[in-house]
């Protein structure tokens, strides 16, 4: 099933050069002086800089390839693409400032990002208010797109991710009691923890401990002691890769011997570097698995690794998919007028028309709210410390 969903999409660049470019290059008099500007709002500094690095590398790699092939043809004009990268510093207020600058000063046609929900929700608020198309590659919180017709995403949403995680816990381990540990001050883990709890209870699983902490906390011993004493048979912790290692280490030091299950925020190569052996044997839900990838996923991984020297996490693949979707929507407008308001609306309208899409993270089908319906991959961190494909949960709409 994994092989089927990871169909080749890296040919997008080749299709552009072979079927949509004209021999003479950029036409004179093209709107925007022949340059399409898009913004990328990413956490280049702050708590999760590896997310920003991977995402920015991925977007830049894709655009470099398209520009090297001649550019993007829209109607009867061909354009070079310029990406303007802005650092949201892993802060909501910085995300708002970055999005506002891109829209008003840089006059971008659309924005990729933000990535984590804590920054993606306010980024989407700005984009929607200023009627600028926005695609978040990695934000799974439903609030990112809710009641925002200008905002889209390239990842599954937390109600489904939470359901898949709870079902996996029941079916794989046969647990009757589980515990949850999460950051109550951050949109992503808080939302997903609540979704998992609701789904677990529907599965007949008792959530015997629902423990919280606050961003920047580094001592989880009190919460973990309660969890160990609760009789829980599995721990679910939907935290970012920089926080997970301490949770794993402290849990094992306190004597935790049961399975630990995480979420897509674990999917960074940095996690195993930071956690070491404490990560071995853990599972998490994700958008793709690095080890055992085939088709479009493997081609993307190989290209990224050859350029940047390491295997990318899922955020890089999602950024690649989101950018491809945006560029296809721009192409499908049939031509740009040079009027930002008109062109932004035309791009938004084309994004709403995406029904089925084959990307590096698999097949996706979009809802009217701009949320893709797509498979969730279960990843196991194997004995070599690699993110290995374990199984996949495919929504019935894609079967």
Tokens of 139: 């934000």
Segments forming the whole domain that contains residue 185: 158-286
Q: What's this model's pTM, rounded to 2 decimal places?
A: 0.87
My answer on whether 162 and 275 are in the same domain is: yes
List pLDDT tens digits, range 142-159.
999 999 999 999 999 999
Last residue of a domain, one of 232, 267, 286: 286
In a domain, 382, yes or no: no
My answer on whether 26 and 116 are in the same domain is: yes
My answer on whether 20 and 152 are in the same domain is: yes
pLDDT band at 2 (very low <50, low <70, confident <90, very high): very low
My answer on whether 179 and 194 are in the same domain is: yes
**Res 320: pLDDT:** 98
> Does residue 64 register a pLDDT over 80?
yes
State mean pLDDT over 19-47.
76
Sign of CA dihedral 366, 367, 370, 371: negative
List pLDDT tens digits, range 161-179.
999 999 999 999 999 999 9
Q: List own/partner pairs for 90-93 with CB under 8 A and 24 or more apart.
A: 90/43, 90/45, 90/46, 90/47, 90/48, 90/49, 90/116, 90/118, 90/119, 91/46, 91/119, 92/118, 92/119, 92/121, 92/122, 93/122
My answer on whether 93 and 217 are in the same domain is: no
List pLDDT tens digits, range 265-318.
999 889 999 999 999 999 999 999 999 888 989 999 999 999 999 999 999 999
List pLDDT tens digits, range 338-388.
999 999 999 999 999 988 888 999 888 888 888 999 999 999 999 999 999
**Res 370: pLDDT:** 86
More confident residue, 352 or 24: 352
Phi/psi at 203 (5° precision): -80, 0
CATH number, domain containing residue 219: 3.40.50.2300
My answer on whether 305 and 365 are in the same domain is: yes
My answer on whether 354 and 321 are in the same domain is: yes
> Does residue 4 register a pLDDT over 60?
no
> Does residue 30 register a pLDDT over 90?
no
Alpha-carbon distance 146 to 143, whole Å?
5
Last residue of a domain, one of 286, 315, 332: 286
List pLDDT tens digits, range 81-140.
999 999 999 999 999 999 999 999 999 999 999 999 999 999 999 999 999 999 999 999
Q: Please report, rounded to a whole number, the percentage of residues in the chain having pLDDT higher than 70.
A: 93
Domain count, the chain: 2
**Res 28: pLDDT:** 55
Count how many Cα atoms sit within 13 Å of the Cα of residue 178 in the half-sphere of its side chain: 29
Tokens of 244: 């997970």
């Amino acid at each position: 099933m994994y092989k089927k969903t990871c169909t080749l999409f890296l040919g997008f660049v080749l299709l552009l050069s072979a079927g949509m470019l004209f021999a003479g290059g950029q036409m004179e008099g093209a709107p925007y002086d022949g340059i399409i500007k898009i913004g990328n709002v990413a956490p280049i500094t702050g708590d999760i800089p590896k997310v920003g690095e991977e995402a920015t590398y991925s977007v830049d790699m894709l655009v470099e390839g398209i520009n090297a092939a001649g550019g993007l043809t829209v109607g009867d004009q061909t354009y070079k693409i310029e990406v303007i990268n802005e650092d949201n510093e892993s802060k909501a207020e910085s995300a708002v400032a970055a999005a506002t600058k891109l829209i008003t000063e840089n006059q971008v046609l659309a924005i990729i990002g933000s990535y984590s929900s804590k920054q993606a929700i306010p980024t989407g608020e700005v984009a929607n208010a200023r009627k600028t198309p926005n695609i978040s590659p990695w934000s799974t919180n439903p609030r990112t797109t809710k009641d925002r017709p200008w905002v889209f995403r390239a990842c599954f949403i937390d109600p489904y991710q939470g359901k898949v995680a709870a079902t996996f816990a029941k079916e794989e381990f046969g647990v009757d009691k589980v515990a949850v540990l999460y950051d109550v001050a951050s949109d992503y883990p808080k939302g997903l923890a609540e979704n998992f709890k609701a789904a677990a209870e529907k599965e007949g699983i008792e959530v015997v401990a629902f423990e919280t902490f606050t961003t920047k906390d580094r001592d989880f011993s009190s919460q973990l002691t309660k969890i160990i004493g609760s009789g829980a048979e599995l721990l679910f912790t939907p935290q970012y890769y920089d926080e997970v290692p301490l949770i794993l280490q402290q849990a094992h030091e306190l004597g935790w011997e049961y399975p630990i299950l995480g979420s897509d925020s674990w999917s960074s190569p940095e996690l195993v570097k930071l956690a070491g052996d404490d990560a071995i044997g853990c599972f998490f839900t994700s958008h793709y698995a690095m080890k055992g990838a085939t088709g479009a996923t493997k081609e993307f991984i190989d290209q990224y690794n050859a350029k940047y020297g390491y295997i990318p996490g899922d955020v890089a693949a999602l950024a690649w998919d989101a950018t491809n979707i945006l560029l296809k929507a721009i192409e499908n407008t049939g031509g740009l007028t040079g009027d930002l308001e008109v062109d932004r609306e035309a791009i938004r309208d084309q994004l709403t028309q995406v029904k089925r899409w084959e990307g590096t993270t698999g097949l996706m089908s979009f809802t009217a709210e701009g949320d893709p319906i797509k498979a969730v991959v279960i990843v196991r961190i194997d004995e070599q410390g690699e993110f290995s494909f374990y199984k996949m949960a495919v929504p019935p709409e894609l079967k």
